[in-house]
Amino acid sequence: MFGSVLLTALWGLATAFIDSGLDQHWLLWKKLHSRVYSDEIEDLGRRRIWQDNLEMINVHNLERSLGLHSYSLAMNHLGDMTADELRDTLMGTFVPSDQHRSPINTSTWVAKPLQASLDWRDFGMVSEVKSQGSCGACWAFSAVGALEGQLKKTTGVLVPLSPQNLLDCSTMLGNHGCDGGSMSAAFQYVMLNGGIDADAAYPYTAESGPCRYSNKSRAANCTSYRSLLAGDEDLLKAAVANVGPIAVAIDSKHHKFAFYKHGVYMDAKCTSHVNHAVLVVGYGTEEGQDYWLLGSSLRGQRIHQDGAQQTQPLWHHAPCRVPHHVTCV
């Protein structure tokens, strides 16, 4: 009897914080993103998280309209997740402690001033950005993006490559599937394996599984890779201009990053402690703010970091530094 009374009291306390005016919006959001919860209690808990995230988004966008922020936010499929869940589940990139950073031979790079802005999408070197789903596979998507750019550059053909191949088959090099990995280990796998399969032959499932690589579906290889000096953004800019799209890791643990929509993403709390892999496909300047043009698999989005504009699918702009970068050449 006492237990049922206590449960009823707790239920009443929880529902007291729910805005009934958002009932229809909650139902529409669940339908749009195919959310089905185990019971009414879980539904209520996720509803509260979603409502808190929505309030954060609305307040931020109001402040944006008042000139307090350089970017806007929007509700998306991550709306029922807490900041801790996002960090623990989706942001699975790490930099190996023994990461070797080889000197970069820049003698073959074009000896002239770099162009003021660049977007490798305009040259057909970037495939459509895909969503990693509920799997910490950002490192695999970042790695295949860099490989795809080099494949297009050398053969003239852009072939989407398989992040699932990396997810399933590079564990012997220290990667952990959906629980995280590094782009450098992914490149090492492709080199040792002698290739990587096409995405069409080895499609993404958002979960780790047994290695199913097949030589018959081999679509690309990697003969060498280089890790640029951490934090050297001048060198990164030159590399992007002369090599192509570059796999990088950034600090994305701040909650608003997951709901970025448009504008120049800037967060004074950004650090060099990276946890999310993205692909640098360009750079530029907007309203006096330099930016990196990034593609992120967190939401199947394109982003501008240190500034940029949104296109579809989303590209991200942000001022957080890009402390770790590696590419296959």
Helix (H, G, I), strand (E, B) or coil at 206: coil
Residue 197 has, within 13 A of its CA and on its CB side, a CA count of 21
Evaluate if residue 12 carries a pLDDT over 80: no
Classify domain 83-328 by CATH architecture: Alpha-Beta Complex (3.90)
Is residue 213 within 8 A of residue 193, CB to CB? The reply is yes
CA dihedral 12, 13, 17, 20 (to 10 degrees): 0
Could you tell me which residues come within 8 angstroms of residue 34 by beta carbon, excluding any fewer than 6 positions away? none
Instruction: Give the pLDDT of residue 311.
Output: 30
Evaluate if residue 329 carries a pLDDT over 60: no
What pLDDT digit, counting tens, does each position of 113-171 carry?
A: 788 899 999 999 999 888 888 899 999 999 999 999 999 999 999 999 999 999 999 99
Instruction: Give the pLDDT of residue 2.
Output: 43
What does pTM read for this prediction?
0.83
What is the average pLDDT value for the chain, to the nearest integer? 83
Higher pLDDT, 29 or 110: 29
CA distances from 37 to 34, 44, 80, 203, 223 (A): 10, 9, 11, 27, 47
For 4, the enclosing helix (H) or strand (E) is helix 2-15
Tokens of 229: 């000096």
Instruction: Give the pLDDT of residue 300.
Output: 59
What pLDDT digit, counting tens, does each position of 304-314 carry?
A: 554 333 333 33
Tokens 């679509």 found at: 219
Percent share of the chain, pLDDT over 90: 52
Instruction: Give the pLDDT of residue 233.
Output: 83
Is residue 235 within 8 A of residue 327, CB to CB? The reply is no
Domain ranges of the chain: 2-69, 83-328
Could you tell me which residues come within 8 angstroms of residue 25 by beta carbon, excluding any fewer than 6 positions away? none
What pLDDT digit, counting tens, does each position of 256-290 carry?
A: 888 988 887 877 777 777 788 999 999 988 777 78
Instruction: Give the pLDDT of residue 6.
Output: 40
Instruction: Give the pLDDT of residue 201.
Output: 97
